[in-house]
Amino acid sequence: MLEARRRGVIFDIGHGGGSFGFRTAEAMLAAGFLPDVISSDVHALSINGPAFDQLVTMSKFLCLGMELVEVIRASTAAPAAALGRTDIGRLEIGAIGDATVLELAEGEFDYRDVLGEARPGCWRLKARGLVVAGRWWHPPRA
């Protein structure tokens, strides 16, 4: 995989409505082939399932046994690097200062792939807040 990266090949999940199957992902991970980028590819045909959103897509990879740190990297720093954006995807001095505050919730969660196959999971990432430009963000009240 390192050689592929040197040639500019980046493996992105791009879940969407037709690009993610549990069996393929399980075989890939069993072979030690982790995705470079995890993206939901949410659009009109997948927002109501099976992709739903980025956090559900990330949670599916936790369900499959990927380490939390690798799931976060594949959803933040790796996509930023793939886009050549050194100003995003990292939390350090000189960065923009945007962040999503997440909770790793434990429970019983059911996940589905694009083929309708289900897998149970005991973890789900949930958004608990946003930091935008280094400040806590409060959405406007309706």
Helix (H, G, I), strand (E, B) or coil at 41: coil
- pLDDT tens, N- to C-terminus, the chain (142 residues): 444 455 578 999 999 999 899 999 999 999 999 999 999 999 888 899 999 999 999 999 999 999 999 999 999 999 999 999 888 988 888 788 899 999 999 999 999 999 999 999 999 999 999 999 889 997 777 6
pLDDT of residue 7: 58
pLDDT at res. 142? 61
Bridge partners of residue 111, in order along the sequence: 119
Separation CA 112–CA 118 (nearest Å)? 4
In a domain, 38, yes or no: yes
Domain limits at 57? 2-136
Q: What contacts 100, CB < 8 A, 6 or more positions away? A: 127, 129, 130, 131
**Tally of domains in the chain:** 1
The sign one gets for the Cα dihedral 118, 122, 128, 132 is negative
Which pLDDT belongs to residue 109? 98
In a domain, 88, yes or no: yes
For residues 73-101, one letter each, b for 16 or more C-beta atoms within 10 angstroms of the residue's C-beta and e for the rest, the string is bbbbebbbbeeeeeeebeeeeeeeebbbe
Q: What is the CATH number of the domain that holds 81?
A: 3.20.20.140
Report the amino acid identity of residue 20. Answer: F
Inside any domain, residue 142: no
Please check whether residue 141 lies inside any domain of the structure: no
